[in-house]
Amino acid sequence: EAGVAQSPRYKIIEKRQSVAFWCNPISGHATLYWYQQILGQGPKLLIQFQNNGVVDDSQLPKDRFSAERLKGVDSTLKIQPAKLEDSAVYLCASSFGTGGRYEQYFGPGTRLTVT
């Protein structure tokens, strides 16, 4: 079974530039998550999709971050414009169902550095 794919693995941009991350979840997984993990902190949920609908985006900074999951499969997360504090690892995960008892499967993450 193929795992969760993410690209790129690393990205360095200057502040005020834009960046986009891509995620392909495990086939058949209805739920997709984007997390932001800042060094020394736990992952913070940015947005959760159930199929192509948003379940939770309460912690997504909507003035600069956007995400979509077209056709309920692949997803992209965009930052425009980036700030220095956006430097973090961005993790994508998927699970078979939604709710706290489902194990989440993670991609390798994208390490973003904003200079």
Residues that bind other proteins (CB under 8 A): 3-4, 40-45, 48, 56, 91, 93, 98-109
- How far apart are the C-alpha atoms of 111 and 113, rounded to whole Å? 7
The residue (of 10 and 68) whose beta carbon lies closer to other proteins is 10
The residue (of 82 and 107) whose beta carbon lies closer to other proteins is 107
Q: Are 46 and 36 in contact (CB under 8 A)?
A: yes
Task: Provide the minimum distance between the beta carbon of 104 and other proteins in the complex, in angstroms, as a whole number.
Answer: 7
Dihedral angle sign, alpha carbons of residues 73, 58, 111, 94 = negative
Task: Provide the minimum distance between the beta carbon of 115 and other proteins in the complex, in angstroms, as a whole number.
Answer: 22
Task: Provide the minimum distance between the beta carbon of 2 and other proteins in the complex, in angstroms, as a whole number.
Answer: 12
Task: Provide the minimum distance between the beta carbon of 67 and other proteins in the complex, in angstroms, as a whole number.
Answer: 15
Query: Strands (DSSP E) along 1-115, which ranges?
Result: 5-7, 10-13, 19-24, 31-37, 44-50, 53-56, 65-68, 75-79, 88-95, 105-106, 110-114
The residue (of 87 and 98) whose beta carbon lies closer to other proteins is 98
The residue (of 22 and 106) whose beta carbon lies closer to other proteins is 106
